[in-house]
Structure 1
């Protein structure tokens, strides 16, 4: 449940997501709430790149993550001073009050191991969410694991630093193993760091069933943050859900 230790300080650099577009997608999703959204929970907030942006828009943010290294990166960000950051397992969160909305971004849910874990996260979010609140999250799709990741290898560069990202996907277990090797240039030589992460593919049916059991209705599933419909070759699925009540 804590895959980010070695690479926490480089996460934002190698994260290729369009952050402003994602934040705008979330803001529009919050407009679908029947209540005024003030307090927002960021589940698996990581380095806080989304958390801080939402705080800048005026939301009262709480960020939960299991990685102390990622939370430390968040605390270093300008604008993080008023954000409540909690090091907790997303399956068993314990907040100080309720929220009107929650987000879980950058395939954080795919780091869970089982469908029961997924249901536990949804139940934990539901426990602290007010009725008619909005839950926004994304997951990697079957297309992403079989075609984008698969058994492919990618190399990302940042100045003198380099990240080698090898993928190994098993269709039978629906698990993808990421072998990450970071080379950082320091004083004319390179320092190597290695980390192995595992993600799991959850089908749309599994996700929908878990949401329903935890009191959420799906308002929309999109293939990108511009709210185009999800399709067979969408690498990500973006969900907007509302808590019943």
Structure 2
């Protein structure tokens, strides 16, 4: 399947994703009405939806993603929006060839695709190196409750005109991890036939205290930890945990 078809698949699944709420979270943490002149690195940028919105708010944006296909879609989408950001295919665990940024974002549970403790630690250290002194790291992760009760053992399905899917989730090999088996049926634009696409996505999360420990060890100070796009502290029922951390200034 070419990347245009894959983009249609991804963006269809993410059609109701709360992009505007992520933007509001960044605004609230940065205490800025807009991002004019602010440099932002979006890790796990996917097809570029957040890049476009951040650019429209005045930010100087850069995107990183492991998927060349996603970045190709993001490049086209940003071009259609009238700008040409730097887009780099690489792992978040080892960010190289980048400038320093005012803000780094890792949203839409992108961090949950890291399976080991070391990968998360390496990512925090790598982001620390890419932030200016006092720069902000903003990210969200699935809660343990979401992984263990909201996903594991669940099956989700949808049947629309252009796409249908079956999504089944199983317990992963690590604690608080899940494997998502997805089967998509996507209509080919050329001949109208449905093409089956299968994917396996693995995600893992960790206790909030563990994320805090790793952030502090990497050199961050934690400003707030909230849940589910609110200003409230996480509870046992929370599904998405938001972290707002700041790189400590050198010498402090």
**TM-score above 0.5, yes or no:** yes
Per-residue CA shift, 1:34-82, capped at 9, x if unaligned? xx97111111111111121111111101111110011112112132633
Give yes or no for contact 2:109–2:141 (8 Å, CA) kept in 1.
yes
Q: Tell me the alpha carbon deviations over residues 145-166 of structure 1, each in whole angstroms, 9 at most, x when there is no partner.
A: 1121011000134423112111
Inter-CA distance 107–67: structure 2 relative to 1 (3 Å threshold): same
Aligned partner of 1:180 in structure 2 is 182
Shift of 1:239: 0.9
How far apart are the structure 2 equivalents of 1:133 and 1:228?
23
Secondary structure class of the residue paired with 1:148: helix
Q: Pairwise mapping of residues 103-142 of structure 1 onto structure 2 (< 5 A)?
A: 103-142=105-144
Asked whether the 8 Å contact 2:9–2:186 carries over to 1, the reply is no
Whole-angstrom CA distance in 2 between matches of 1:238 and 1:157: 32
Measured after TM superposition, the shift of residue 174 of structure 1 is 2.5
Q: 2-side partners of 1:149 and 1:165: how far apart?
A: 10
Q: Describe the shift of the 1:37–1:30 C-alpha distance in structure 2 as closer, same or farther (beyond 3 A).
A: farther
Which is bigger in relative contact order (C-alpha 8 A, separation at least 6)? 1
How far the C-alpha of 1:96 sits from its partner, in A, is 3.3
Cα separation, 1, equivalents of 2:68 and 2:174 = 33
Q: Secondary structure at the match of 1:165?
A: strand
| Structure 1 residue aligned with 2:93 | 91
Q: Quick check: 2:174–2:204 contact (8 Å CA) kept in 1? A: no
Offset at 1:206?
A: 1.7
Partner residue in 1 for 2:12 = 13
2:172 and 2:202 in contact (8 A); partners too: no
Asked whether 1:237 is paired with 2:241, we answer yes
CA separation of 1:147/1:195 partners in 2, compared to 1, >3 Å: closer, same or farther?
same
Counterpart residue number, 1:165: 167
Q: Aligned ranges for residues 59-74 of structure 1 at < 5 Å?
A: 59-74=59-74
Match of 2:224 in 1: 220
Report the number of matched residues: 239
Q: SS state of the match for residue 244, structure 2?
A: strand
CA positional deviation for 1:229:
2.5
Distance 1:8 1:136 in 2: 25
TM-score by length of 2: 0.88
Quote the residue 1:79 is aligned against: 81
State the distance in 2 between where 1:156 and 1:123 align: 39
Structure 2 gap ranges (5+): none
Counterpart for residue 48 of structure 2: 48
Inter-CA distance 230–194: structure 2 relative to 1 (3 Å threshold): same
